[in-house]
Amino acid sequence: MRDAIVQRSAVLWAVLVAMLASTWASDGYRPARLSLGTRVQELSPPPLWDGRELWIPAQHLEKLGWNLSATSSTVKLNDLPPDSPQATLLMTPIQVEPNQKPTPCVPVRDVVRRLGGLTRWNEETQTLTVLAFLRQVRIDPETGQIQVQTSLPVEWRTLNLSDPARLVIDLSGCALPDQPPTPEGVFERVRAVRVGQFDPTTVRIVLELDTPLTTTWNGTARQWSLSLTEQSAQVAQSDTQPEPPTEKASAEAESPPEPQAPPFQLPTVERTAQGVQVILPTSAPVRPRVNFLEDPLRIVLEVPGTLQETLEQVVDDPSLFLRALRAIPTEGGTVRLVLELTRSVGATLLTTQNQIAINLRMPRNAGGTLRQKVIVIDPGHGGNQTGARARHGNRWVEEKEIVLAIAKHVADRLSAEGATVIMTRGKDEAIGLYARTELANNANAHFFLSIHCDSNPRPNSASGTTIFFHKDDADSRALGQAILNEMVKVTGLPSRGVRSDSTLYQSGLAVLRTSQMPAVLIEVGFINHDTDRAKLIDPKFQERVAEAIVRGLKSHVEGR
């Protein structure tokens, strides 16, 4: 009965959209590319990007390699439970080519979100990259079978290393989720297991063995296993669901169950005089771990709870700052609560005896347009204060030169947007730390952006972009999250997140501590990392970073 209703609704919806298709001009779409991991798909007609979603013509669905089935108007996600509301979505007719009738298209980001994966949009190359999430790494204690599962098919290969003996499994087109899975199980041949993000598109699993292997394997699958024996290994690939429990597991399951906590419920969303409050009831006082993530903008909390499968609620009202609420079961009696945001927000957390309340509001000095704002750009260091230095070829590269070049590009683009821009230095000269923020405070600036390059004691040991805000200033954190959200799309460098400066010094950073307006310090990349440095000294990269900083600031102000 339910399937019949869904089909009738789909037909009616398709007819209605077809009637309105003439108003759906292709002006709002532009041709784009789709990359599954590191492989860019050759698709004709091409996918279309509308600024938030990538639409792929339904005729290309088989090329994705995902477990999907389609009718003339719907797509079924076969890896999800058949009765789940997330398992079926409607196609959207879009005029892919001029003078052609609308083509049924499928929203790629929506499909990936439902299946459990990550998408990254690159504005420079007009490419959406899809990455699977690693879901499980398990070793069977009796057979030594290594089982790996991802949310989407990935290309994988093994590598054998010695001294000590190691089996390396690289998963190309894969990323670690917010809460990475913990390797399970032990086996006599395996001494240790490590899982990490090797590069932005590769997850690496390393198993330390008692003796080295000599054979290597590779494949493409969503679920597979390597079976280690005394002399060799065997590989089996499958995209089927895990096998039923063994007799031993079934016997254990028949033992009296322990008392279970009430099932986890999605929080309620309420309007307040200041903005929006997301309320999650709890049975005892708890202080959850909170992360602020980008691409897309999210707030992620680890909270106590019992949950068997993912819950999701789509929020249709953009004034509530939320696009969706998701609850994801994790190990250890906790639930990952994800708040996907429509824009950067000032967020504060309040816990009481029986609830967690997340307060969301418009950040200070946001709203209006960029041309109404006064912005201070602070290129770090200068003069005899060179900042971090590193040798590149036969010359020394200095932080002060790189950040001044980026800052000038930022200032030019902000001025082109109509904003009032003040630079703390426009040439190679030394400026005191307090003089920088005094200039901003006296100008009653709306925002303060300090631009730097990172460094650490051990070259090539750290890479990526970090943005710092002062202490627990929610407004500055929101500003940093909006800027980082755009930077990660163009830099090709890992995101190290938006962090409080109290993680560096107890009193924080001087230019952030003394700013009277929302302020962030942007560490674009590590000058003493070969990959980062090669990018940092590239004039085209400097321009891309500047453009991303301006886009992030504009989205923070204007909410789009």
Domain edge (last residue) among 321, 337, 361: 361
Q: Tell me, what CATH number does 554's domain have?
A: 3.40.630.40
Among the listed ranges 50-54, 261-265, 342-346, 552-556, which one has the minimum average pLDDT value?
Answer: 261-265
Sorting pLDDT into bands at 50, 70 and 90, what band is 245?
very low
Residues in a beta bridge with 379: 451
Whether 135 and 92 share a structural domain:
no
What SS3 class is residue 296? coil
Which own/partner contact pairs does 118-121 have at CB distance under 8 Å and 24+ positions apart?
Answer: 118/175, 119/54, 119/295, 120/295, 120/488, 120/489, 121/49, 121/54, 121/295, 121/489
Whether 193 and 313 share a structural domain:
no
Q: Which residue has the higher pLDDT, 499 or 230?
A: 499
pTM, entire model: 0.57
Whether 393 and 302 share a structural domain:
no
Residues 6+ apart with CB under 8 A from 437: 448, 510, 511, 514, 515, 516, 519
Q: Is the pLDDT of residue 456 over 70?
A: yes
Q: Which amino acid is at 466?
A: T
Domain edge (last residue) among 60, 88, 115: 115
Q: What is the helix (H) or strand (E) element at residue 480, kind and residue range? A: helix 474-491
Q: What is the pLDDT of residue 161?
A: 82
The answer to whether residue 255 is domain-embedded is: no
The answer to whether residue 149 is domain-embedded is: yes
Whether 346 and 209 share a structural domain:
no
Spatial separation of the C-alpha atoms in residues 353 and 96, rounded to whole Å: 55
Which own/partner contact pairs does 85-88 have at CB distance under 8 Å and 24+ positions apart?
Answer: 86/114, 86/312, 87/114, 88/6
Structural contact between residues 305 and 345, judged by C-beta atoms closer than 8 angstroms: no
Give Cα 45 to chain centroid, integer Å.
28
Sorting pLDDT into bands at 50, 70 and 90, what band is 540?
very high
For 350-378, the pLDDT digits (tens) are 888 788 999 999 999 999 999 999 999 99
Number of domains observed in the structure of the chain? 4
The answer to whether residue 124 is domain-embedded is: no
The answer to whether residue 25 is domain-embedded is: yes
The separation between the first and the last C-alpha atoms of the chain, rounded to the nearest angstrom, is: 41
The answer to whether residue 39 is domain-embedded is: yes
The answer to whether residue 253 is domain-embedded is: no
Q: Is the pLDDT of residue 187 over 60?
A: yes
Average pLDDT value for residue range 320-339: 87
Prior bond to 459 cis, omega within 30? Answer: no
Whether 357 and 374 share a structural domain:
no
Whether 41 and 151 share a structural domain:
no
Whether 459 and 352 share a structural domain:
no
Domain edge (last residue) among 361, 389, 422: 361
Q: Tell me, what CATH number does 297's domain have?
A: 2.60.40.3500
What SS3 class is residue 522? strand
Whether 487 and 460 share a structural domain:
yes
Whether 374 and 523 share a structural domain:
yes
Whether 286 and 383 share a structural domain:
no
The answer to whether residue 123 is domain-embedded is: no
How far are the Cα atoms of 102, 380, 398, 421, 435 from residue 431, in angstroms, in the given order?
59, 9, 16, 18, 7
Handedness of CA 238, 242, 244, 249 (dihedral sign): positive
Whether 217 and 282 share a structural domain:
no
The answer to whether residue 247 is domain-embedded is: no
Whether 216 and 281 share a structural domain:
no
Spatial separation of the C-alpha atoms in residues 110 and 61, rounded to whole Å: 14
For 384-419, the pLDDT digits (tens) are 999 999 988 889 999 999 999 999 999 999 999 999
Sorting pLDDT into bands at 50, 70 and 90, what band is 5?
very low
Number of other CB atoms surrounding residue 66 within 10 Å: 23
For residue 157, the enclosing domain spans 130-241
> Residue 121 — φ and ψ, nearest 5°?
-100, 130
> Residue 133 — φ and ψ, nearest 5°?
-100, 140
Averaged confidence pLDDT in the chain:
85
Give Cα 559 to chain centroid, integer Å.
19
Among the listed ranges 49-53, 65-69, 159-163, which one has the minimum average pLDDT value?
Answer: 159-163
Q: What is the pLDDT of residue 79?
A: 85
